[in-house]
Amino acid sequence: MLICSKDNIRLEEDLLYNFNINLNIQRMIDVKTPILDKLIDTMDKERISFHTPGHKGKNTLIEWGKLVPYGDTTELSGLDNLHYPTGIIKESQDLAARTFGAKKTIYSVGGTTAGIYIALGTLTNPGDKILIQRESHKSVYKAAILNKLTTEYIYTNYNRKYQVYTGVNPRDIEKKLTDDPSIKVVVITYPNYYGICSNIEKIAEIVHKHNRLLLVDEAHGSHLVFSNKLPIPSLKAGADLVVQSTHKSLPSLTQTSMIHVGTDRVDIQKLCDISSLYQTTSPSYLFMASLELARAYMEGEGKERLNRNIDNIHELIESLKSIEKVKIFTGDENDRTIYDIDISKILLGIKGLTGSQLSNILMKDYGIYMEMSDFNYTLALATVMNEAGDFKELLKAIEAIAGKEFEGSNPCLVPNLPEPKIEMPIHEAYYSNKEEVDLVDSIGRISSSFITPYPPGVPVVCPGELITEKILDYIQLALDKGIEIIGLIGYNREKIQVVKEEGNDRY
């Protein structure tokens, strides 16, 4: 069992001793450190991690405890500069490009969020139109605001039988591109939150046939290149730009991502300039070193471990399938939008429990932490750093839970995310004068904010979109199911920000 304890993070004993002494002195003089207190509390708990970060609280290649804070430095002589790399950072990025199969790689110390801002800023000019999936992560929407882009949506298929968003039909993209010559860039999430992969090779072929650009949000797919038992990496499939959250599926520190250039269609000088626009002038060397270490680890032992874990996952899935009451999603041969599945994301549920309830039981009673949950499922995100024992513990816990009787909240039939009606460009609504209205009075108004159920972080309404009865119903359903909704305001989260109707002086 993975124990994310002080031992596990291998703070040397004397370091740990000093750490505790210092902390106790601080407490004696009543200095409050709420974040640190909680962090230590969390570290003390025995737990099995099926969530991010991909390192799962373990060291790879070095002992991080020895490097902090001494290795936390700035651009001293010889340490190069992320904004104009010519030395060690350039060398490190070039090595990453070679491993991931890119023409060029740039490190992002602001996660894939900054990576998407940079990628869209590179591929567009203000005023351009982009085609995005409605289920895109909010960083894609925010990139549209920052880069002053207009958005057009493509809808991912919602598989009613299994209650999951599956993939995008390449033919739908083809139709959109044929109908609207003003679309400049297509943005695809690959794999999606559930590990489902659209036919990215076909999509790349269509996008390029129409002379447009393909950006892939591969936040959940940094590991794909390291095993041929996994779906094809989008760089190999022909994507122009790809952004990956290395920290999610490989062992790098939270907040570290990579932006990879796949084709000559990308203006590399512009990419460097825009990267400089969005990234801090004080990038963390610890972050950059952790990106390098994740790559180096995966070139050696990591690759073998990943492949071993994939076999462990297949075994786990077979065992889970044999347990009565367990629902496990492994695809649907009748759904053509599921082209492939990233097996490292294990989507499971137990009849009679919502995904959130199951996730809570796993956490509280078994110390197993899941990545996310929704109405019907909870998702175990396995990485190279999981141990064989983690899968066994998960199986044991699921067997035990499935053997119990539950009063039975039946999984609800999730309505499709309501189709939005865009009334004004997202950036215009975002920067407009705003007012707060009660949710019940908001029908017919234009939202100026994002309302996002968490997880999975897909907005149900975005700035510039009309608020309808269906949208309010969806929000209410999510609230009733205990899903957290970000974006509502007021004491009881009963209000929403909308575009002010009169005297609306936009900036």
Ligand X SMILES: Cc1ncc(COP(=O)(O)O)c(C=O)c1O
**Which residues lie near ligand X (CB under 6 A)?**
111-113, 137, 139, 189, 217, 219, 245, 257
Kind and range of the H or E element at 49? strand 48-50
Question: Closest distance between ligand X and the C-beta of residue 235, in Å?
Answer: 16
Compute the half-sphere exposure of residue 76: CA atoms within 13 Å on the CB side of its CA. 5
Residue in the block written with tokens 């629902």: 327
185 — phi, psi (to 5°)? Answer: -130, 140
CA distances from residue 253 to 99, 245, 258, 454 in whole angstroms, order as listed: 19, 10, 12, 23
Question: With respect to ligand X, which residue has the nearer C-beta, 194 or 375?
Answer: 194
Question: Closest distance between ligand X and the C-beta of residue 142, in Å?
Answer: 10
Question: Closest distance between ligand X and the C-beta of residue 250, in Å?
Answer: 12
Question: With respect to ligand X, which residue has the nearer C-beta, 305 or 345?
Answer: 345
Question: Closest distance between ligand X and the C-beta of residue 385, in Å?
Answer: 17
Residue pair 92/246 in contact by the 8 Å Cβ criterion: no
Question: Closest distance between ligand X and the C-beta of residue 135, in Å?
Answer: 9
Question: Closest distance between ligand X and the C-beta of residue 437, in Å?
Answer: 30
**Radius of gyration in angstroms for the set of CA atoms belonging to the chain, rounded to a whole number:** 23
* Nearest residue to ligand X on Cβ basis: 111
Kind and range of the H or E element at 369? strand 368-370
Residue pair 345/191 in contact by the 8 Å Cβ criterion: yes
Question: Closest distance between ligand X and the C-beta of residue 134, in Å?
Answer: 13
Question: With respect to ligand X, which residue has the nearer C-beta, 218 or 393?
Answer: 218
For residues 91-128, one letter each, b for 16 or more C-beta atoms within 10 angstroms of the residue's C-beta and e for the rest, the string is ebbeebbeebebebbbbbbbbbbbbbbbbbbbbbeeeb
Question: With respect to ligand X, which residue has the nearer C-beta, 232 or 401?
Answer: 232
* C-alpha torsion sign, points 326, 329, 330, 336: positive
Question: With respect to ligand X, which residue has the nearer C-beta, 257 or 447?
Answer: 257
CA distances from residue 83 to 93, 307, 342 in whole angstroms, order as listed: 12, 36, 34
Q: Which two tokens stand for residue 208?
A: 């390029």
CA distances from residue 91 to 79, 81, 110, 485 in whole angstroms, order as listed: 11, 12, 20, 43
Question: Closest distance between ligand X and the C-beta of residue 293, in Å?
Answer: 17
